[in-house]
């Protein structure tokens, strides 16, 4: 007889959306879809268990390590502070969509933390960082999360779906996104990029779904090592010639946007 997964109040079967029951090595839904729990504690809830390599995020082990070093040196603490303010206090489940290696979730006070990312490597790192949080390998576009199960859901610099936010939030629940503003890391961008103007225009307003938004801007005087890490952890590394030296004086410029589900 399977036990109720009382400690997994938000997870849903990615095939049929039903709640799970615990079995000895993992979980099973009422339709018999079973998933093992990894030794680090996370669940891989991608339908089929894996993605074709063409649809993975492109985050290498090196870029994940660069992000871990950069974030854990607290350079983006003003972003974490604005995220904490926008989220408010919650006792129920809080979900980080596109959690990466877990730093933002580690910066929050919450008794029930959940993190989801499409990268298994990132989820492994996050699981070791926050052993008392539950991590999931899954996709932001179809969250393996029960309807109306979360007090809050947020995303920092990662793909997310507002319709999925509204589905998984309980009534009155809060969603928050952190997205780049028009000047974000502009010093590190190639100067002759023809898409700069269009991108700055698009980012000059917060996302249209937001009910409220705060623009957070601050200057960073980075060490050379931190500048290398920032360069390696952002998509900029794909846009700039490999021999370009990373600059150490950079502007962080982000929109912290939020809304409440009805
Ligand atoms: C720029 S990183 C940001 C990670 C983390 N939020 C942070 O700021 O440190 C983007 C993250 O989104 C994840 N990602 C990309 N596509 C995704 C998808 N469809 N569903 C869930 N996560 C996704 C990547 O694996 C990566 O960890
Ligand atoms: Zn199922």
Instruction: Quote the pLDDT of residue 54.
Output: 44
Enter the DSSP assignment of 246.
P
Query: In whole angstroms, what is the distance from residue 42 CA to residue 124 CA?
Result: 8
76-106 burial: b if 16+ Cβ within 10 Å, else e? bebbbebbeebbeebeebbbbbbbbbbbbbb
Q: Of how many residues is the chain composed?
A: 262
Domains annotated on the chain, with CATH = 3-51+58-260 (3.40.50.150)
The response to whether residue 128 sits with its C-beta less than 6 Å from ligand 1 reads: no
Q: In a mutational test of the pocket of ligand 1, which residue from 42, 98, 136 has the highest number of ligand atoms less than 8 Å from its CB?
A: 98
**pLDDT in tens for each of the 262 residues of the chain?**
444 455 577 999 999 999 999 999 999 999 999 999 999 999 999 987 655 544 455 588 999 999 999 999 999 999 999 999 999 999 999 999 999 999 999 999 999 999 999 999 999 999 999 999 999 999 999 999 999 999 999 999 999 999 999 999 999 999 999 999 999 999 988 777 778 888 899 999 999 999 999 999 999 999 999 999 999 998 766 555 555 567 899 999 999 999 999 9
Instruction: Quote the pLDDT of residue 58.
Output: 59
Query: In whole angstroms, what is the distance from residue 86 CA to residue 185 CA?
Result: 23
Residue 117 token pair: 């990312």
Cα angle 169-29-118, degrees, rounded to a multiple of 5: 55
The response to whether residue 63 sits with its C-beta less than 6 Å from ligand 1 reads: no
Number of H helices, E strands in the chain: 8, 12
The response to whether residue 159 sits with its C-beta less than 6 Å from ligand 1 reads: yes
The response to whether residue 98 sits with its C-beta less than 6 Å from ligand 1 reads: yes
Instruction: Quote the pLDDT of residue 15.
Output: 97
Instruction: Quote the pLDDT of residue 143.
Output: 98
| Beta strands 3-4; 21-23: pairing state | antiparallel
Mark residue 167 as left, alpha or beta (left: phi above 0; alpha: psi -120 to 50; beta: remaining): alpha
Full-prediction pTM beyond 0.85?
yes
Ligand 1, atom 5, lies closest to the CA of 100
In this structure, which ligand is nearest to the CA of 35?
Answer: 2
The response to whether residue 67 sits with its C-beta less than 6 Å from ligand 1 reads: yes
Rounded to the nearest angstrom, the distance between the alpha carbon of 34 and the centre of ligand 1 is 25
């Amino acid at each position: 007889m399977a036990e109720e997964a009382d400690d997994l109040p938000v997870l849903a079967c990615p095939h049929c959306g039903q709640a799970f029951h615990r079995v000895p090595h993992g979980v099973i839904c009422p339709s018999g879809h079973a998933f093992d729990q990894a030794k680090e504690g996370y669940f891989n809830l991608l339908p089929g268990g894996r993605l074709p390599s063409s649809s993975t995020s492109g985050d290498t082990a090196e870029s994940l390590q660069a992000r871990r070093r950069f974030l854990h040196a607290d350079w983006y603490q003003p972003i974490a502070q604005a995220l904490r303010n926008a989220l408010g206090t919650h006792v129920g489940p809080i979900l980080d969509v596109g959690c990466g290696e877990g730093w933002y979730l580690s910066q929050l006070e919450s008794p029930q933390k959940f993190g989801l990312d499409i990268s298994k490597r990132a989820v492994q790192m996050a699981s070791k960082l926050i052993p008392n949080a539950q991590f999931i390998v899954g996709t932001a576009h179809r969250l393996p999360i029960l309807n109306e199960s979360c007090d809050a859901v947020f995303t920092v610099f990662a793909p997310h779906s507002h319709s999925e936010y509204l589905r998984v939030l309980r009534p009155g629940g809060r969603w928050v996104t952190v997205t780049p503003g028009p000047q974000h890391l502009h010093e590190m961008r190639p100067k002759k990029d023809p898409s700069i103007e269009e991108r700055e225009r698009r980012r000059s307003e917060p996302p249209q779904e937001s009910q409220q938004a705060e623009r957070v801007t601050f200057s960073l005087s980075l060490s050379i090592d931190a500048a290398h890490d920032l360069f390696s952890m952002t998509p900029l590394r794909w846009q700039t010639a490999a021999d370009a030296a990373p600059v150490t004086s950079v502007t962080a410029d982000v929109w912290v946007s939020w809304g409440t589900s009805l």
